[in-house]
A and B are shown apart, each in its own frame.
Chain A
Amino acid sequence: MNPSFNSFHLSRRALLRAVGLGGVAWLSPLTHMLGQAQEKEASQAAAKSVIILWLAGGPSQLETFDPHPGKKIADGTGAIKTSVKGVEIAEGLPQVAEVMEELTLVRSMVSQEGDHERGTYNLKTGYRPDPTMVHPSIGSVICNELPVDGVDIPRHVSILPGQWPARGGHLGAGLDAFKVYDTLGRAGDMTARVEPARQKNRLAGLKRVEDAFARGRRTDLDKKTTLHNATIQRALDMMNSKQLGVFDVSKAPARTREAFGDSNFGRGCLAAVQLVGAGVRCVEVTLGGWDTHINNHEGQATKNAILDPAFAALIRELRARKLLDETIVICAGEFGRTPKINGLGGRDHWPKGFSLALAGGGFRGGHVHGATDPEGVKEEPKDPAKVADLHATVMHLLGIDHKKEYKNLPFDRFGTLSEGNVIKGLLKNI
């Protein structure tokens, strides 16, 4: 029994490097760099932002993007034609069907996580839960890799956050998604409670207290440990920013608002468009309630009624504002639902062969990737797509090298931005 030595962890990294030099030396560095340069070129003028429509609880692929009409597993759920010939989606999404030419459907997502929390972690971070560290969500990775200037508002936002909003993980809580609970009015406590003169009074007092507290303490305390005053300053900048208006959809034209549907989720989607337009990197908008262990069809239909106008209007609005090419849209939940209907008319968790929809940012519109067994017998779908691959693909479209190695991971761990591979078939330009 040899206790663990830190030096051993270090030497692992060195070892891996050595292996890299010996075994696959011909790939690096020159070939690798060339490859990278090529990738950069391919993704020029490509995606800048990501909007994630998070369907918490696990939407049923059979009632959304992967219907099998007339089959036993459909259990009566029909399909409708879309704007793309030969592609059908479930009957509950007529408006989404009309914008199918912009969508890429992946019908063969596979993961190993059938639990809500673990599945959410997996989808949002691209990694399986690891007891030794918390991985950053995709939005945090993007913000970290692609810093933006001139944006006072947070670059990573979670509208109507559910139980597990996107987190910065080992990149730090500073990259946690900024949570917004209301897109009409006092969005995220961003207005001072008192008039300017009193606010000034309060802050002047605060400076006194802060100065007194700093006296005799570590000089790098605020900079390295608490970030307290730095964060307060950033919060104040935000409160005073003109950009703050993008959180509020009440001023958008009535017709636009109506198109998104009369729901908090719909309004959240409109806010997401406004945010992306202002330079925000990643917005997640959550619609919960897809966990239909009982009365699946009814539950999914209720949620589809909210999703359908919001998702379709989101695509149209992005297109109208010429933002669709630079904005990746991901519509997904933590897993799908079983082909088999259970005793209560519900469907249970199903991480094998579930669906998600992608759009914009260089994804290939009107395309379907993968297929599930119409009889629900074979568990493995055709052309399975791993969660990590999805992350690698999204990063690729943003011009981020997903194979880049993290520095300063906890406990001298070794890790890359993503452990997946780009799914070339999903891209508009290969």
Chain B
Amino acid sequence: MVELLEDQLPVAIGSVGIRPIEANHLAVAYSPLYICFLDGYVSFGHWATATMKALEKIVSPLGQRNLLFAAACILGLSVVFSNLLQSDAVTPPRNHSVERYQNPEFRDVVERLDAEFVARWEKEGLEPAPPADELTRIRRLSLGLTGTIPSLQEIRAFEEARVFHAGNQPPPNDHIQWWLSHLFEDRRTSDYLAERFARVYVGVENGPFLFYRRRRFVSWLSDQFHDNQPYDKVVSSLITAEGLWTSNPEVNFFTVTIDENDKKNKNKPDEVKLAVRMTRAFLGVRLDCVQCHDDRLNDRWLQKDFHQLASFFSGADMRSSGVRETGKSYEYKYRGAPQGEVPKKVPFFPELLPESGEPRERLAAWVTDRENRAFARAAVNRIWALMFGRPLVDPIDEIPLEDTLENPYPPGLETLVDDFIAHDFDLQRLIRVIAATRVFGLDSKVSEDRVPLTEKHDQHWAAFALSRLRPEQVAGSIIQAASLTAIDADSHILFRMARVFQQGDFIKRYGDVGADEFYALGGTISQRLLMMNGELVHERIKDDLVSNAAARILATAPDDEAVVEAAYLAVLSRRPTREEVQYFAGLLAQKKGRSRKDNQEDLYWTLLNSTEFSWNH
């Protein structure tokens, strides 16, 4: 019986997206599955032989009737699994509307941006890289906005949509815009963006146990992004947050700064920490350097600038009903002066501060005022950094307030800021505009008969500079590459659990960069060892028809060349070159002491261990 299953299963489990996705009806085929909870993470794999043997051991002493019971259980499980393995085709975006970007106004802003970069390249005497192909660009977008590479199934859907469009000869950017519509409707995007922004707003620490719920904060933020709430509204809600940290998740922006060990300011949000976070995150200004003394070197900021800003937060205190405005004042002792109340003043554009109202409402109005361009600049710089893997102005949270000869703004910045403000701080629009620019679409390579790329190209955005994937992007991408369909919020709970556990352990070992958002340095030996010999990669590439794409591709692709192509698409989001197809198809066919399955596992290992996989390019 066991033999029979081994022969039939590969055929039965087929339907894995080598061709456009077919539905999966074969519930019964999954009966010899079992779930084992090992070391806290869920692994469902290994089938047939092992299961049957294990079952015999369990069942025989218990007698025949129990066998029937066991069979019933297994049948139940198999129904769950069949459900969970159901490969729905990618639903096309519901709200995809060409009017969003097929209008003169959108085209105009993109053209202006392109012209600014072209001017820079000409000035520097740089010939820009050619445009990257579309699959490279959608990989960039998926990594930047969802934190993982696109699934094989999504790539197929994208290519189908492209064929459909080709008849009407749409402008080349449309495919990318279609892809963005697809991503914006996907919960993975808002979840990922929320996590990235949360790192800036509340950091990565656990915070005070009693008063802080980070997950609630992140999921609130995710809702805002998913609904595409105007960014100024989101930030205003944070600054003016009131109430309980559980029912009003935005309040966690305040409660995370509480120091439970500080006996003097019992459970009061810390105005100094809040001022640091706010200026860096919302304004792209580092005022905290003057927390202790004036900026003696360039007279830019005074110490009082910082404390007067912090003073706006001093009224926020903890009451039984959560964080409330209490009107409490902020006192500080400047050196050589007695301790005294610090007035509430803003460090620049004082004319934009409303004269009356609750302090934090006034502050929020000032921060998000259309005339306060620092606010829009900080947001543009951050979104740019997410999409390119590095900020337009570096460091990300230190953007000069003015464009000067000594410190000129990079091309594109002010134009994007204008557009962002003119469109009411619409983040999705901002992403669409950036994705449509020539600079975003540039390749990271040139043809070999051309002058090679240099560091200077990267510096002036004349080529797409490589950026290292963050640990969770690497983990997410390994897991995604091992699945043919997109692993997203709609996935079955078991898949999501597996992902959380596996990812957590991997990230711990790979080295979480914490709040250091855009850390440019190269990889470490530990990371390479983890990728070459570690548990996650091993588990995700081994011959396992249920959980791993490598095995499913092998079982269903019509020939070796198709196997190689599918593996490349699933892992590197591109097609192999002719040489690569020949080489790896040749290896697959090689019989010398190795099985085809081994060779396929080796191919997956090779692709996962490449520079191309671990970097955004």
The B511-542 residues at the A interface (CB cut-off 8 A) are 511, 516, 519-530, 532-535, 538
Does A173 lie within 8 Å of B448, measured CB to CB?
Answer: no
Q: Which of B404, B466, B607 has the most CB of A within 10 A?
A: B466
Stretch of B157-165, B223-231, B553-561, B577-585 at the chain-chain interface: B577-585
The A304-345 residues at the B interface (CB cut-off 8 A) are none
Closest CB in chain A relative to B522 CB, distance in Å: 3
Q: Chain B residue with minimal CB distance to A410?
A: B395
Closest CB in chain A relative to B212 CB, distance in Å: 14
- A134 contacts B by Cβ under 8 Å: yes
- B166 contacts A by Cβ under 8 Å: no
Does A193 lie within 8 Å of B577, measured CB to CB?
Answer: no
Q: How large is the interface on B (under 10, 10 to 19, 20 to 34, 35 or more residues)?
A: 35 or more
Provide the bound-state CA to CA distance between A205 and B594, in Å: 15
Does A131 lie within 8 Å of B526, measured CB to CB?
Answer: no
Q: Which residues of B contact A221 (CB under 8 A)?
A: 466
Q: Which residues of A contact B276 (CB under 8 A)?
A: 131
Does A348 lie within 8 Å of B261, measured CB to CB?
Answer: yes
Q: Which of A12, A190, A197 contacts B533 (CB 8 A)?
A: A190
Q: Which residues of A contact B610 (CB under 8 A)?
A: 206, 209-210, 213
Does B583 lie within 8 Å of A228, measured CB to CB?
Answer: no
The B397-434 residues at the A interface (CB cut-off 8 A) are 398, 400-402, 404, 406-407
Q: Which residues of A contact B402 (CB under 8 A)?
A: 1, 3
Provide the bound-state CA to CA distance between A288 and B124, in Å: 54
Does B524 lie within 8 Å of A176, measured CB to CB?
Answer: yes
Provide the bound-state CA to CA distance between A234 and B504, in Å: 26
> A110-153 interface mask toward B, CB cutoff 8 Å, 1 = contact, 0 = none?
00001101000000000000011010000000000000000000
> A194-235 interface mask toward B, CB cutoff 8 Å, 1 = contact, 0 = none?
100110011001101110110111111110111111011011
> A146-176 interface mask toward B, CB cutoff 8 Å, 1 = contact, 0 = none?
0000000010000000000000000011101
Q: Which residues of A contact B72 (CB under 8 A)?
A: none
Q: Which of B280, B444, B602 contacts A217 (CB 8 A)?
A: B444
Does B529 lie within 8 Å of A189, measured CB to CB?
Answer: yes
Does A173 lie within 8 Å of B522, measured CB to CB?
Answer: yes
Closest CB in chain A relative to B366 CB, distance in Å: 16
Q: Which residues of B contact A208 (CB under 8 A)?
A: 579-580, 583, 606
The A1-43 residues at the B interface (CB cut-off 8 A) are 1-9, 12
- A179 contacts B by Cβ under 8 Å: yes
- A184 contacts B by Cβ under 8 Å: no
Provide the bound-state CA to CA distance between A8 and B289, in Å: 15
The B439-487 residues at the A interface (CB cut-off 8 A) are 444-448, 450, 452-455, 457-458, 466, 468
- A191 contacts B by Cβ under 8 Å: yes
Q: Which residues of A contact B612 (CB under 8 A)?
A: 209, 213
Provide the bound-state CA to CA distance between A197 and B533, in Å: 15
Does A8 lie within 8 Å of B445, measured CB to CB?
Answer: no
- B174 contacts A by Cβ under 8 Å: no
Q: Which of A173, A174, A179, A197 contacts B509 (CB 8 A)?
A: A179
Whether A178 touches B289, Cβ cut-off 8 Å, given contacts A1-B300, A212-B580, is no
Does A189 lie within 8 Å of B530, measured CB to CB?
Answer: yes
Provide the bound-state CA to CA distance between A193 and B536, in Å: 12
Q: Which residues of B contact A131 (CB under 8 A)?
A: 276, 280, 286, 288
Q: Chain B residue with minimal CB distance to A172?
A: B521
Q: Which residues of A contact B447 (CB under 8 A)?
A: 216
Q: Which residues of A contact B261 (CB under 8 A)?
A: 114-115, 348-349
Q: Which of A9, A210, A216, A220 has the most CB of B within 10 A?
A: A216
Does A3 lie within 8 Å of B524, measured CB to CB?
Answer: no
Does A174 lie within 8 Å of B445, measured CB to CB?
Answer: no
- B372 contacts A by Cβ under 8 Å: no
Q: Which of B445, B446, B453, B611 contacts A222 (CB 8 A)?
A: B611
Does A216 lie within 8 Å of B524, measured CB to CB?
Answer: no
Q: Which residues of A contact B607 (CB under 8 A)?
A: 209
- B51 contacts A by Cβ under 8 Å: no
Provide the bound-state CA to CA distance between A174 and B457, in Å: 26
Closest CB in chain B relative to A222 CB, distance in Å: 7
Q: Which residues of B contact A114 (CB under 8 A)?
A: 261
Does A4 lie within 8 Å of B205, measured CB to CB?
Answer: no
Does A154 lie within 8 Å of B614, measured CB to CB?
Answer: no
The A76-114 residues at the B interface (CB cut-off 8 A) are 114
Q: Which residues of A contact B524 (CB under 8 A)?
A: 173-174, 176, 178, 231
Q: Which of A2, A198, A205 contacts B584 (CB 8 A)?
A: A205
Provide the bound-state CA to CA distance between A173 and B288, in Å: 26
Closest CB in chain A relative to B39 CB, distance in Å: 12
- B615 contacts A by Cβ under 8 Å: yes
Q: Chain A residue with minimal CB distance to B466?
A: A225
Provide the bound-state CA to CA distance between A226 and B584, in Å: 25
Does B538 lie within 8 Å of A205, measured CB to CB?
Answer: no
- A425 contacts B by Cβ under 8 Å: no
Q: Which of B297, B468, B520, B522 contacts A8 (CB 8 A)?
A: B297
- B259 contacts A by Cβ under 8 Å: yes
> B297-314 interface mask toward A, CB cutoff 8 Å, 1 = contact, 0 = none?
111100000000000000
Provide the bound-state CA to CA distance between A206 and B572, in Å: 13
Closest CB in chain A relative to B275 CB, distance in Å: 12
Does B259 lie within 8 Å of A3, measured CB to CB?
Answer: no
Q: Which residues of A contact B584 (CB under 8 A)?
A: 205
Does B448 lie within 8 Å of A216, measured CB to CB?
Answer: yes
> B165-208 interface mask toward A, CB cutoff 8 Å, 1 = contact, 0 = none?
00000000000000000000000000000000000000001000
- B603 contacts A by Cβ under 8 Å: yes
Q: Which residues of A contact B298 (CB under 8 A)?
A: 2-5, 8
Does B577 lie within 8 Å of A212, measured CB to CB?
Answer: yes
Provide the bound-state CA to CA distance between A222 and B610, in Å: 12
The B240-269 residues at the A interface (CB cut-off 8 A) are 259, 261
Closest CB in chain A relative to B575 CB, distance in Å: 12
Does B606 lie within 8 Å of A176, measured CB to CB?
Answer: no
Q: Which residues of A contact B530 (CB under 8 A)?
A: 189
- B117 contacts A by Cβ under 8 Å: no
Q: Chain A residue with minimal CB distance to B533?
A: A189
- B587 contacts A by Cβ under 8 Å: yes
Q: Chain B residue with minimal CB distance to A5?
A: B406
The B554-612 residues at the A interface (CB cut-off 8 A) are 577, 579-580, 583-584, 587, 593-594, 598-599, 602-603, 605-607, 609-612
Q: Which residues of B contact A289 (CB under 8 A)?
A: none
Extra 8 A-B pairs, beta carbons < 8 Å, given A5-B407, A189-B529, A221-B466: A115-B261, A208-B579, A226-B468, A226-B611, A226-B615, A232-B528, A232-B609, A238-B529
A-B contact pairs, 10 of them (CB 8 A): A1-B402, A5-B407, A12-B297, A115-B259, A173-B524, A179-B526, A209-B612, A212-B580, A218-B452, A218-B453
For the complex of A and B, the 5 pairs showing the least CB-CB separation, nearest first, are A227-B522, A216-B445, A3-B400, A205-B606, A189-B533
